[in-house]
Amino acid sequence: MLPTVRLRAAALGSLASLALAAGLLSAPSTAAGTPADASADASVPSIFSPQVVTVDTPTRADRARLQRLGLDLTEHGGHDYVEVILHSRLERDRLRRAGFRYDVRIPDLLQRSARNNARNIVFAAENPRTALPSGRNSYRTLRDYEADLKALAKQRPRLVRHFTLKRPTLDGNRLHAVEIGQGVKQPPRGKPTFVILGLHHAREWPSGELTMEFATDLVKSYGKDPRITRLLRRARVVAVPVVNPDGFDLSRTDGGLLDLQALNPIDPLGGSLAVLATPGQAYKRKNCRLVDGVDQPDGTCRLSLASPGGNGLGVDLNRNYGGFWGGPGAAGDLGAVNPDSPLDVLGPLSATYRGAAPFSEPETQNVRDLIASRQTTMMISNHTFSNLILRPNGVNPKTLYRGKPMGNARDEAALKALGARMAATNGYTNQHGWELYDTTGTTEDWSYNATGGFGYTFEIGAEEFHPPFEKVVEEYVGAGKHAGKGNREAFLIALEHAADTRHHGVLKGTAPRGTVLRLTKKFRTPTWTSSIPDAVSSTLRVGPKGTFRWVVNPSTRPIAEGPERYTLTCSRGGKVLAAGKVRIERGQVKTLPLRGCR
């Protein structure tokens, strides 16, 4: 490994002037923001030295004011605090000038990662196989994910279909996925879909691991576990472990090389060269967008090294979805969130930059198309960290939205009850997203409000973005009083919901075999100040018996002010035989209303 590390160090050394320029922004302050962080300043000598600090936010107003600073807020917080990553002296000074008190919880995240890397080596040596379905004992790389997804389809070709989503990323990668279910290679027969996603944020490695392990679990357990076998006969599961492959590849690569400090004994500059060459993107959050609206040559994502920790460039994919895009909890153009103090919000350099427009990024466009092309009755977007299950909507219901209070989601009681059932298996806190802090443009806010299918964010783990791998094992299979349950059981409860027709509509009837039925609906998805054109469209092919049963989401969206209807068409050989409107609500069973489709 040493020659490889030297080669990487030499390559990064060629960027020394860039790194030194970044150092002007990243060098730690010698002045303490509060007495609690004074000792930490002296312990962080590197130019790439992100810290985790716990910021006091006793009121919601304090939390909103903290968001307006444009800092890198984690998903870890309580009723009177939020944890923040500080990447540079400027960020530390900004926090201090704003009058916030904070304590340093992790003085140097890179040192923490290096220690975790060493711990992972020992863990892997002592555990050639773990309790995970795959038996894996270490974090996957991007290429590992791609190989493992393809391998699942090769192992069970009648159960698993591997595919890539349509749009390549800015750096030329593809989003790889698997669809799992009985008869998966056959034409669609009207089964509902559970979509599970990981790694919207590059540094959140366990979110991809648990998504991948659940897919592996389903494939290995089908035909052996009666519960899983029954569910995969009734529903489909689509797993996309890595939504942000560009950012994750950098984070995982740099995070695995944080042992470059080991070169210090042979560094003629006494360790300075190794410090300068230490990769700085282990804690990258966003995608690899360099300039809004401009494509870029493949392989240029590494240029974002010019910002501290790679955090300053890119779009936060979990603020780029169309639902309520542009509202609280997402940074826009320079000064847009706080016009009275433009420098407080860094626009595209902010950790929560929402992008130039709703769905401006290829990654979110891919997820939108995936969810909208199926009857997605359940969606989970996995993240780290905070041991939370978050449900829509992401904004406090008292917040004024177009002149009136935002209010709770229409299905609040049912969303809360299902969240509680899942939380009972993994020990997480079941709450609204806004109880942490306001967010808009998130995956579940769009998916739920556009389709009616339930959606949640899981914040996996209690302490850090990519903890020692043994924690990943515990999060999946459960530990302590949750042993044997964990997120595995939570995901299975979500799959049961996806397949349970009591929560969805059912369209059934008879039609000539081979007939294609299509349900479509065009509408406008509200953003915070306007709306965007949107649509859902899915198909069913009638089987050889001439009967069908189609599990569908309600035709009326949760945010619609009045009843809505699908457009239903019946076609054969590309010719439309009949068309009409159909309204269907949760728990309702309706017979095919088209007379011409007989």
Q: Which of 8-12, 56-60, 417-421 has the highest mean pLDDT?
A: 417-421
Task: Identify whether 463 is a catalytic site residue.
Answer: no
- pLDDT at 272 (0 to 100): 43
For residue 467, pLDDT over 60 is answered with yes
Sorted by where each begins, the domain ranges of the chain are 1-18+132-260+277-492, 504-591
Beta bridge partners of 389: 430, 458
For residue range 477-532, what is the model confidence (pLDDT) as tens digits?
A: 999 999 999 999 999 999 999 999 999 999 999 999 999 999 999 999 999 999 99
Mean pLDDT across the stretch 83-94? 84
Question: Domain 1-18+132-260+277-492 is classified in which CATH homologous superfamily?
Answer: Zn peptidases (3.40.630.10)
Confidence grade of residue 156 (pLDDT, cut at 50, 70, 90): very high
Q: Which fold has domain 504-591?
A: Immunoglobulin-like (2.60.40)
Strands 505-510 and 547-552, sheet pairing = antiparallel
Confidence grade of residue 20 (pLDDT, cut at 50, 70, 90): very low
Residues near 517 by Cβ (< 8 Å), separated by ≥ 6? 511, 539, 540, 541, 542, 548, 550, 568, 569, 570, 592, 597
Euclidean distance between CA atoms 404 and 251, whole angstroms: 42
CA dihedral sign, ordered 139, 141, 144, 145: positive
For residue 296, pLDDT over 80 is answered with yes
Mean pLDDT across the stretch 165-180? 97
Contact (CB, 8 A) for 566 and 584: yes
Contact (CB, 8 A) for 275 and 45: yes
For residue range 74-88, what is the model confidence (pLDDT) as tens digits?
A: 888 888 899 998 887
For residue range 179-192, what is the model confidence (pLDDT) as tens digits?
A: 999 999 999 999 99
* Lowest-confidence region among 321-330, 331-340, 508-517, 587-596: 331-340
For residue 146, pLDDT over 60 is answered with yes
Mean pLDDT across the stretch 191-195? 97
**pTM score, two decimals?**
0.87
Confidence grade of residue 305 (pLDDT, cut at 50, 70, 90): low
For residue 275, pLDDT over 60 is answered with no
Joined together, the tokens standing for residue 394 give 């992401």
Contact (CB, 8 A) for 102 and 84: yes
* Lowest-confidence region among 337-341, 368-372, 423-427, 492-496: 337-341
Confidence grade of residue 21 (pLDDT, cut at 50, 70, 90): very low
How many residues appear in the chain? 598
Beta bridge partners of 106: 52
- Phi, psi of 383, rounded to the nearest 5 degrees: -140, 180
For residue 295, pLDDT over 80 is answered with yes
- pLDDT at 279 (0 to 100): 54
Mean pLDDT across the stretch 184-202? 95
- pLDDT at 240 (0 to 100): 98
From the list 91, 363, 459, 489, the catalytic residue is 459
> Over pLDDT 90: what percentage of the chain?
64
Euclidean distance between CA atoms 326 and 127, whole angstroms: 47
- pLDDT at 233 (0 to 100): 97
For residue 217, pLDDT over 90 is answered with yes
Encoded amino acid at 469, one letter: F
* Lowest-confidence region among 116-120, 253-257, 281-285, 434-438: 253-257
Strands 566-572 and 516-526, sheet pairing = antiparallel
Mean residue pLDDT of the chain comes to 85
Encoded amino acid at 261, one letter: Q
* Type and span of the H or E element at 549: strand 547-552
Mean pLDDT across the stretch 87-108? 88
Closest C-alpha among 290, 292, 197 to residue 246: 290
Confidence grade of residue 339 (pLDDT, cut at 50, 70, 90): very low
Contact (CB, 8 A) for 319 and 354: yes
